[in-house]
Amino acid sequence: MNNNSWMNDPALKNIDPMKLQILSSIANEAGNKNTNELLPFFMSAMNQANDKGISFSSPERELLMNILMQKLAPEERQKAETIIRMASAFQKK
């Protein structure tokens, strides 16, 4: 995503610089993805970070998903949010 205004979000004020770099990289790469590729891309990126011993809190993941979903149409965004809620509920079990 070329619009980096999200980096001014107050929620990022106390984030680890390494995590911020990863978030920035993910957001930039997401700009090249079509809407069908965003969720699998996000899940893959989170798994790669976990493999490196880097985990993101729920608010950090939520912020990243909001960034990735900025380019989605309202109905696509609603579908993505539903899928994310379902995946989160499944993950908690």
The pTM for the full model equals: 0.63
| Closest alpha carbon to 41 in 75, 8, 65 | 65
Apex 41 CA angle, 79 and 86, nearest 5: 35
pLDDT value of residue 1:
44
**Confidence (pLDDT) at 69:** 75
Task: Report the pLDDT value the prediction gives residue 88, as an integer from 0 to 100.
Answer: 67
**What are the tokens at 48?**
């790669």
pLDDT tens-place string over residues 71-86: 677 888 888 778 777 7
CB 3 within 8 A of CB 68: no
- How far is the C-alpha of 61 from the C-alpha of 22, rounded, in Å? 12
Q: Which residues of the chain have pLDDT under 70?
A: 1-3, 71, 87-88, 90-93
Integer Cα distance of 32 and 48 in angstroms:
18
| Residue tagged 């976990």 (tokens) | 50
